Amino acid sequence: MTDLKISIFQFNPKVGGLSYNTEMLLSAISKAKSEGSNLFISSELAICGYLPEDLLLRPDFYKKCQLQLEHFFTIFGITMIIGCPYKDADNNHFNSAFIIRDGRIVGRYDKMLLPNYDVFDEKRYFISGTTPLVFDCCGVNIGVVICEDVWQPLPVKLAKEGGAELICAINSSPYTLKKYQLRLNVTKNRVIESNIPVIYVNQIGGQDNLVFDGASFILNKNAEIVMQMPAFEENLKNINFNKHILIDKAGTGLINHYPDEIDSLYKALVLATKDYVYKNGFKGVLLGLSGGIDSALTLAIAVDALGRDRVMAVMMPSIYTADISIHDSRQMVENIGVKYEEIEINSILEQFKNQLKPVFLGLEEDVTEENLQARIRGTLLMAISNKLGYLVLTTSNKSEAAVGYATLYGDMAGGFAPIKDVLKTQVYKLCKYRNNISSIIPERIILRKPTAELKFNQFDQDSLPEYEILDQIISCLVEKMLSVKDIIQLGFKAEEVNKVAILIKSSEYKRQQAAVGPKVSAMSFNKDWRYPITNDFKF
């Protein structure tokens, strides 16, 4: 077997950006070819980006994807594996990988296993392929599989039976906490079963409620990592694949360390925010800065994603806003250097109350007046958004979203929610992590007891369990899908578990109107959480 030089392209496609994606691929192929590569590999559905969702129901979408594929027929002297949706003459739709060499298609592989769980709904769009694909490149028999095909033994087994000596797995595998290790372990299992090395190529980038971490890798026959690409970065990597590299580990220069849990989480939130803003054409972002920890973290993420010149913070104090909240907000803005405005809302609040007096006659003030403050702030932020063309970032976390501790059309108003899937306890860890890079979040913001400041002497734990307890109960109910009885048996207080369960269920109507935000957990309040608003089931 001769040496085979392979170029792996880990890139950030735009869903539906067919021309853009093709240009990115062609540019990388040109570079790979100039460096003497024999084989070029990129990610799943690279032509159209992942996940196109109901774009895949449009006949014209397939036609335009196929037109883009023709650009690769003009390239000679290198073999390419290009992911692209395909519609055959019988109107069957496939998630496909095309093998293109010297002006023609030398093979097409159709994804066999179609995921239909979590955020995936591929059986809505595609039918399963049935035939393995093994092709020759420089004397090496290469089998191709696509993403989910690696998670079960059959597709790799069929490729081996077809004579494969190397497996190329092209993927669009979204990030969640601990997902990298899971996909690495699964791929190792395929290597151990087949005794065939695997090249695992993944995309990066934010796409609505998903974020992709890349972290592509190669495993040798011993299921050892011989090449590890960086996480959350575009990268074109070359590797000489010969008999030596099939067995032994490569030099340490080819192995990048995958970030630890909080590091990867922060990087995912930054990339998701950056791509949502830029891919949707917003000039910048703004958010309400309260002096609390959630808005402080959101501001830090926004600046790291977009730069200080594209970020605006607005402090909107009321009579209930503590002086330290204003002081800490000003301090953070000074630390981070963004545009900043203060707009007091007392006069607006009083006007609202006066206008509502005839309707509220004889009724005591309650949460209604608290929510008025949040809705005034939401209205002001949306007005600034309309005028400046800036996207409003909401600042609520997953703990609040779970129990409805946010105001519909108030602090829930906005277009993107960077920390939507981040529990409150994780918010604290992320703030400490960010301050270890450079100290931008005032220490008092991290140490203060959390409060909405919608009335005097108000604290979150007046009406909620301590966040350390609340987050565990939420994880049990939402991610592990345990019953109330099961959770109580774990040692949690029955009163607290029952209260949280009721709040989660009764807040569903709010969550279904919430802004989109990146999924970073096993079960987010996005497309992987599809509970009916109207239902009588008790957890």
Q: Give the catalytic positions in this structure.
A: 44, 111, 147
CA distances from 218 to 188, 244, 452 (A): 10, 14, 48
Structure tokens at 260: 């630890």
- Cα 155-157-162 angle, rounded to 5 deg: 95
Helix (H) or strand (E) holding 227: strand 225-228
Q: How far is residue 379's CA from residue 366's CA, in Å, rounded to a whole number?
A: 21
Contacts of 71 (CB under 8 A, 6+ apart): 22, 26
Q: Is the dihedral of CA 44, 46, 47, 48 positive or negative?
A: positive
Contact 187, 169 (CB under 8 A): yes
Phi, psi angles (nearest 5°) of residue 52: -75, -15
Which of 18-45 are b and which e, b meaning 16 or more Cβ less than 10 Å from the residue's Cβ? beebbebbbebbeebbeeebbbbbbbbb
HSE of 109, CA atoms in CB hemisphere, 13 A: 31
Contacts of 521 (CB under 8 A, 6+ apart): 176, 177, 398, 421, 423, 479
SS3 for 538? Answer: coil
